[in-house]
A and B are shown apart, each in its own frame.
Chain A
Amino acid sequence: MEKILFLAHTQKDGSLPKIALEVLTAAQKLARDLAGSTFTVGLIGGDVKVAADQIAGCGAEKILGVSGEDFSESRYATDVKAAEAIAKTVAATIVIAPGTSRFSRALPGLSFRLKGMIDTHVSGINVNGAQLDIQRWYYRQRMVATLTRAARPWVLLVDSGTFPVYAGPRGSGNVEPVQVALTEQDKRTKVTGVQAPLADAQTIRPDADLLFVAGAGWTKKQSDGQTHGKEAENLILGFLKESKASLGSSKSLVDLGAEGETVLSFISHLNQIGQTGSTPRHPKGLATCCHGEEPHVVGWRFINERRAINVDANCGWAQGKADVLYVADAFQVMKKVNELLGRTA
């Protein structure tokens, strides 16, 4: 009989992030499909009451919480101890949790302390009789595996966009506090703040409907034999402003900046999509001035509808990687797109 623990941490405002609510749906599914299993919620944060109320109707047998000032920030040592205390309280055999940056850092430590196993970037869960199978990708989204493990406890970190957001009733969640004894050693790391881009310079928007990807072609010589970096910046920023899209870039464009060449000033490694960058999840994606080479396109694995603009009709996007390839000058097309978006705004 499995003892399922859904583990989540709160955000600054005390609520659960969207990905946690998605993974809660997965935990509910597991509890339904694994006959005879028990289902408990564990929450970590400065104050977990808001989160407990948010998911009060999720069907968990109980909600355990580790809270207090020391747990309000994302810090490895305290997060692992909090997670360990909760998991040991319920003797969890399966811990399912959202793959946030905070838990991606901390929960491998939990698996070690529980003498268990861990799988991350879980993108599918299936119960086959009494056996739990998961899906995850290998070699940076090149191939997908279905696997299982006999060892318990088994910690699963689930990627965003894999399950629908929990939409059950709110209520008054009764949190059973779990005590965690911290030492000064656990608090050697001090979180001093979050460095966020200025509001108008925020180009990474995980919840955007559209991913807009800029390739190195924006910085190359155009048909007049000149580069048009400033114009490219204005076109891209104008588009992001009008469309509220999230900005990605190819590695080659990012690397130009690291090599000291003049490039698009607002692009950093954080925007990088692909083999050595991120693999975001958005319903739609539009690639511009990018050739659609395989190491880049693996970053598009979870983009549902894909379109690209490129002057080369034989580029990678034409090889079954995009739904539509517009063979055109991206400068001209995006200028017109911005005009249309500005007119309809």
Chain B
Amino acid sequence: MSTAYQIIVCGSLVPDPLQTLEPVQAATGPALKNEMMLPSVLDPWAGHALFEAANLAKQNPGSKVTLLSLGPKAKLQQLMMTIAQKVPFELVVVDGSASGFMDSTEVAAALAAAIEKIPGLDKTKLLVFGGCASASRDAGVTMQLIAEQLGISDVFLGVDELKVQPDGSLQLFERIEGGQYQVSTCACAPVVIGWATGNLPEPPNNPQVGMANMRGIMPALQKAAPAGLKGDKIKFASVELPKQVRQTRIVKDTPVDEIANEIVTWMKG
């Protein structure tokens, strides 16, 4: 039994993990130094969600993937140059700050409102995907807050695998403590899923997919609605880099036996 799903993936940009990040105090609150200049990537867990969505859509003909991104339009446009070549999707943009210091509640409200406005939204086919957390705020709450706002009560977090069963029900594998998975089934859509890494490799770039996506991406960027984030929910007293730098003792030109002995003594100490 094949079902045509309406899959909406919530995902935005985060600074490239290889960049050095430094907090600064801006007029509106904490921010990153040179934030608009930092190279960005699609948030890793949201990226996995997008790839899983595309894979699911491919297996279920008639399904459609929409990427819903809340971020600064200009930076999203740059990001789309790479992401667009990965998998087919339609883009919906909400223009606003993608800073980790924004409050999840506001972000979730803006995303849920944008989902409600998607033309032809059919909750009986709706799967809302996203990362289980972001690499910026790392709160892990946005997907649940979106679910609440949309009135969806089947929510899964830290999912690595979703299988559509022959009867159309969904089987999900969620990460729990100790390297284990909780296995659940849910009768059907709508569900909200916060993905962990999933099991799929990053798809290779496909210029044809990129060209097809870009036809819709530029208009989507142009008609992006402002998110209207106020950023007044949290009062930050300080944001600091951890100060601890260790005095690394470098042990070299030392016999293996001696090193092994030292490690074992340390482990048992």
Residues of A within 8 A of B (CB): 17, 74-77, 80, 100-102, 104-106, 108-109, 111-113, 117-121, 133, 137-140, 142-151, 185-186, 188-197, 202-206, 209-210, 243, 254-255, 258-260, 269-272, 275-276, 284, 286, 293-295, 301, 305-307, 309, 313, 317-329, 332-333, 336-337, 339-341, 344
Contact = CB atoms under 8 A, between A and B. Distances in A.
Contacts of A146: 236-238
A325 B17 CA distance: 24
B135 interface: yes
B139 A121 contact: yes
A148 B235 contact: yes
Contact of A117 (B100, B103, B149): B103
A145, A206, A294, A306, most chain B CB atoms within 10 A: A145
Nearest to A305: B266
25 contacts: A101-B158, A109-B145, A109-B148, A111-B145, A112-B105, A119-B139, A139-B138, A143-B241, A144-B241, A145-B237, A189-B184, A192-B185, A195-B173, A196-B181, A206-B178, A275-B17, A276-B45, A295-B17, A309-B259, A313-B252, A317-B248, A323-B248, A324-B248, A326-B251, A329-B256
Given A105-B144, A205-B178, A269-B160, A322 B248 contact: yes
Given A143-B240, A190-B185, A195-B183, A327 B256 contact: no
Nearest to B149: A112
Contacts of B14: 139
Contacts of B30: 145
Interface of B: 14-15, 17-18, 20-21, 23, 30, 32, 44-45, 100-101, 103-105, 135-141, 144-145, 147-149, 153-158, 160, 171, 173-187, 196-201, 233-242, 245-254, 256-257, 259-261, 263-264, 266-268
Main secondary structure of the interface of A (DSSP, over half): mixed
B153 A143 contact: no
Given A121-B139, A149-B234, A194 B183 contact: yes
A244 B227 CA distance: 49
Nearest to B200: A258
Given A191-B183, A203-B179, A328-B256, A109 B248 contact: no
Contacts of A140: 17, 135, 138
Contact of A149 (B156, B158, B233, B267): B233
A112 B145 CA distance: 7
Nearest 6 A-B pairs (CB), nearest first? A204-B179, A336-B260, A108-B141, A327-B252, A108-B144, A320-B245
Contacts of A100: 177
